[in-house]
Structures are given as structure tokens and as C-alpha cells.
A and B are shown apart, each in its own frame.
Chain A
Amino acid sequence: MRASYLLGKLAWALFTILFVICLNFFLFRVLPGDPVRSGVRDPRLTQEAQQAIRERFGLDKPVINCFESLNPVKSGPCLINPFETQFFLYVRNLLTGDLGISYHTNRPVSTMLGERLWNTILLIGAGQILAIILGMGLGILAAWKARTPIDFGALLFSLLAWSLPTFWLGIILLFAGSRYFNLPLGGMITPGVNFPGAWARVSDMLRHMLLPTLTYTIVFLGEYMLIMRSTLVDVLSEDYILTARAKGLNHFQILKDHALKNAMLPMVTIIALNLGFTVAGAVQIETVFSWPGLGGAIFEAVGRRDYPMLQGAFLLLAVSVIFANLGAELLYSVLDPRIRAE
């Protein structure tokens, strides 16, 4: 039972990744038309140079079948075998970790993304952990003090936090922080400084991390609080809580030993479902704070019309979210044995 559940989830995640790969390939082939025309659009290039670039990037090969383009009317003679199509080459290159060459820097996209992946994980990780801890804490407090001014205040705060555009909150915090608290204007580390020791380096990075992490925390805090509060109120209305009270347990014991375990399950689901929004937050926060991560890479690639970079960053983000979702589902099945039995 357990193995088939695991395999089913894994197969589903792989199928989703395959869908994303196809989507990623066709979006970039279909929407802008010829990648050479859009990417290497320089009018100074001669016909020969354009043809050389086409051949170098494999763009002289048919997209997916023997048709010249996806438009079947323009189909040419059907002589090419499917292993020489662009789609096959794309998938084969993906499997070897080759995401193409950046138009902007001429370096491999996979190397550039690899440098940035950990920066994003660091930022999202810190922000999410803080948001989860604070959100759960506030949610427990609000549920325990249900229908008091504390509860109402926490509710209003969460609704307001949910309504704030992430990038705008970042701008406001950056404006206030750089003006009044002498915090850095962006980036991950002060450039051109020879740090005397590891500690000086870390503390400089923490100063850079403070505002983006704070933005992250505020944006996600509200939703976690609302979910924690409403599930805990539901759990606390159950009869076994009354039994626990009748046994003479105090509120702290009831919350800790009886209520919280059951209230945790919806939290795991919400955190998993939130991963997509997490990435959306990363794009905005990294843009505002010039944080060198994947989200910032998307923004820069858009501005530079660097399609291989954009394509690679989107694929990496989507695949990370799919895996994180898979992880959350498996964690859920460990926490709640009833799920596995279904």
C-alpha cells in the first residue's frame, strides 16, 4: 500500500514535469516566432551570419516533426527523422543538464542559474520559516482568545498583510530602511570590500538580508495566521477538548498535547499550496532588493530579451515547486496515516 502510494505520487510529479517541459518548449517556439529573429535581431547581421547562428543553435532543424514550422500549411518534404527535431534535441540537452547559452553573457544558463539557486533558497527559506513560526504563534493566540479584541486585531492585520502587493511593501521598507536606518540599498553583499574575517562577511550579508526577509515574512504571515486560527478554533470545539478540560488539564496542556497536533495538518497543506506564491514573491522581492536569485534572473532576462535564461529560470522554478509539492504531500502522508489508507 505504502509503496504504491509513493510510486503514484512520484509518477504524477514526473508527468507534471514533462508537461512543464513541453509547455516551456512550445511557449518559446510558438509565441515569438523564429528565435533567431527575436533573439539575434541585429539588422547588421548578414544572411550568412544568421544562417551560421541558426545552425549553431540547431534552429535549422524542424521544431517537432517534418514540418518547417508548427503551421502545417508551410510543411516541407518529410525527410528528417524525429531524433533530429528541435524538441528531441531540447529534451536530450535537458537530460544532460544543458539549458542553452545565455544571449546576454554567452555563458551556459545552467551555470548562471546554479549560482543563483542557493541565494533564492536562502531568502525564501529564512522568510518562510519566520512567517510560519510567527503566523502559527499569532494564530494560536488568536484562536485561544477567540472573539476578543486580540483576535479581531490579528484578523485585521492578516487581511491587510494579504492585501499588500509584495513589491510595494518591499519598496516602502527599502525606502524607510535605507533613509532612516542606514541599511543597504540592495544586493547581497557590499561590493568591493575586503572583509577582515568570516564574521564581518556574514554580518554584512545579514544586513542585506534583513529587509527582504522582513518583506517575505509580513506577506506570508497573514495567511498562515488565518489558517492556524480557523483550524484551531474548529479543533477546540471538539468534544474531546471538553473531556480534557473535565480531566482538569490546564489550557497550556490542552493546546500543546491535544489540539495542536490535529490543527497542524491543514497548515502543511496550505504551506504546500503556497509554494507557487512563494516563487511569485521571490520574483518581486529579488527585483526590488536586487537580490541575485532566480526570481531576479527572470526579471533581468525579460529586460534583456535573454530567452534561454528566461526559459531556464522558469523551468527551474517550476520544477522546484513541483518537487517541493511532492515533498509536502509525502510529509502529509507521514503525519496523517488516514491519507495512505485511501
Chain B
Amino acid sequence: MESTSVTSLGAFWRTFRQHPMAMIGLVMLLIAIIAAVCAPLIAPYDPKAIIRITIDDIYTRPSPAHWLGTDDAGRDVFSNFIYGARVSLTVGLFASIISIFIGGTIGIVAGFYGGRTENILMRFTDIMLVIPDLPLIVVIVALTRPSLTNIILVIGLLGWTSTARLVRSQTLSVKARKFVLRAQAVGASRPYIIRRHILPLVLPLIVVNTVLVISLAILNESTLSFLGLGDPTLLSWGQMLNYAFTRGAMSAGAWWALVTPGFGIVWVVLGCTLLGHGLEQALNPRAETHHLAQLHEQVARPASAAARFAGEPMSLSSD
């Protein structure tokens, strides 16, 4: 039996639906996406509107007028929070598309072609894997102009290493299967085999990996913004935390300005993590019991169950 028993995306979806954790993660992400898309409908204030404030409007406590209080500029934290989802999700989506494209291509090419191509590509991947990501991202963004496009490019161009390794090992195992060998024997071209035979079987793994790459990209973006390297024209969750942390929310006791943006990041990243974990289980079901577990299946069966089992024909399959 192969390590992956899933054969198509359809079968994959049927297995996936049975995992409550993955469904919860999916729902959490959908809520975040809806909030981002419908931000103008949900947020009570426009974050870009010019407002006139007095000293009393700064860091006001949560009230009916401002559900989650105001920030250091007297702006509504709840509105900024809703709009902040747009930045995080945009970065997560586009950066992960870049990463997955690069990582997937390198992984498939390395795994399928083998030989010197594989050697060079995987050695390069190893180097990139060792260099610490975040400091490198910080250095590059600090040296270039911090704009949304630059941040997406830098995070995307550096986040492909784990995907490349995963995809390569999956490609290697698919390549060794009989139908691929037969396709090669009857003279199918390499691009054809990749498109027709390898890609469909590697795709489920790429989908799982995409979810995790998105969450890493979102974490990286928020960290960059918190360190003061975010796009200054956009108010992301990391940027909100940067303003709150560097402009006295700590001493003002304004927990609402510190907790709210972080909650947004955790919501989206946890959604991705739950979804990814559930997908992984659907894709690669593991034996979740072992010889020391005290489970009811291992305890002597009641007589009725034993009788039912005795009546059934013997079967070797365990699922």
C-alpha cells in the first residue's frame, strides 16, 4: 500500500468531509474571507476617512459607539480590524501562489527527471532551507521600498523550500508506480506523463501544503508589519499592533488595541492550521491506535458482537 491512498480530488473531498477539524478550519477561513470582501458593509467607520479628534478620543474604552474602543489616532479599532483582514488575506493568497508555483515546479522536475537536474535543484533547496527566512525577508524588505507588492514578492520568492521537498518525494513515489512505467514504455513524452499521470496524484498534497504556506505567509507579513516594515499606506493587523505597541497602548492599558489585531491573525492562521491538519489526515490516514492503548476494541467483545463477527465471512481488508 502506498503512503497515500487517495486517488483523485473527488475521493479526497469525500474523505475530507468526514473530518470535523478540517470543516471547522474551512468555516473559520470562509468567515474571514467574507469579512474581508464585505468590509465596507460590516465596519461602522471608514478607516481612510479624515476625522477630527481631541485628546479624549485616544485609546477610549470599548463603548456602544466604538465596540472595541479606539486606537492611538482615535480611530475605531473594530473597523480597522475588519479592513485589516483584506491585507493579510491578499498577502497570504498571492505570496502562496508564487511559493507553490516555484516549489511545485522544482519538486516535480527534480523528482521526475532525477540525475544531475535533481541533484542541483535539491542542493539549492537545501541551501535556501538552512538560511533563516525571517531575517532574510527583513533585510530584503528593509533595503527595498516596503510596499505591498514587494512584501508579497519577497515572502513568495522565499517560501517555496518545504513545498519543493514534499512535492519531490511524492513525485518519486508516483514515478515508481506501474502505470507511469507503462506510459514511459509505450513512448509517452515526459511533459505528457507529468501532466496526465504525475500532477493529478501530486495535486492533493500540494493543496494541503498550500494551506500551510498561506498561514506562514500571513504570519510573516504580520511580523514584518509589526517590525515597522509594512506598507505604510495600508493598515494590516501587524501594522495595527506596531502602532499600538510603539505608541503607548501598553502604558495606557489599552488591551483592546493590543488584543484585537492579534486575534485576527490567530483566527486566520488557526483556520489554516486546522484545515491543513484535517486535510493531512484525510490524505494520509494513520493508524491512530497502538499496542499500549487501552481501547474498547482491544477489550473482550460482548457476546452479541462476537456472534455478529462470527457470522461474517473472513476479510483481510482492515478498512
A residues at B contact (CB < 8 Å): 16, 19-20, 23, 27-28, 31-32, 143-147, 159-160, 162-168, 171-172, 174-175, 178-179, 185, 230, 233-234, 236-238, 241-242, 245, 251, 254-255, 273, 275-277, 279-280, 283-284, 287-288, 295, 298-299, 302-303, 310-311, 313-314, 317-318, 321-322, 325
Give the total of B residues in contact with A, Cβ under 8 Å. 50
What is the distance, in angstroms, from B81's C-beta to the closest C-beta of chain A?
14
Partner of B253, one of A31, A162, A179: A179
Chain A proximity mask over B246-274: 1 for CB below 8 Å, otherwise 0: 00001001010011011001100110111
Partner of A321, one of B132, B222, B226: B132
B191 close to chain A: CB less than 8 A: no
CA distance A236 to B287 in the complex (A): 11
B289 close to chain A: CB less than 8 A: yes
| A159-B277, A302-B138 given; 19 more Cβ-contact pairs under 8 Å | A16-B127, A31-B140, A31-B144, A147-B293, A162-B273, A163-B272, A167-B241, A168-B222, A175-B258, A230-B286, A241-B291, A245-B292, A254-B292, A276-B133, A280-B223, A284-B226, A311-B139, A317-B135, A318-B132
CA distance A166 to B262 in the complex (A): 10
What is the distance, in angstroms, from A204's C-beta to the closest C-beta of chain B?
21
A236: chain B residues within 8 A (beta carbon): 290-293
In the complex, the chain B residue whose C-beta lies closest to that of A236 is: B290
**Complex contact B270–A160 (CB within 8 A):** yes
Chain A proximity mask over B238-250: 1 for CB below 8 Å, otherwise 0: 0001000100001
CA distance A284 to B127 in the complex (A): 23
B60 close to chain A: CB less than 8 A: no
**Complex contact B266–A276 (CB within 8 A):** no
B228 close to chain A: CB less than 8 A: yes
**Complex contact A299–B291 (CB within 8 A):** no
CA distance A245 to B241 in the complex (A): 54
B222: chain A residues within 8 A (beta carbon): 165, 168
**Complex contact A287–B288 (CB within 8 A):** no
Partner of B228, one of A147, A237, A303: A303
B31 close to chain A: CB less than 8 A: no
B215 close to chain A: CB less than 8 A: yes
**Complex contact B227–A283 (CB within 8 A):** yes
In the complex, the chain B residue whose C-beta lies closest to that of A168 is: B262
Would A159 and B273 be within 8 Å (CB), given that A28-B143, A299-B227 are in contact? yes
In the complex, the chain B residue whose C-beta lies closest to that of A169 is: B262
**Complex contact B135–A280 (CB within 8 A):** yes
CA distance A178 to B245 in the complex (A): 14
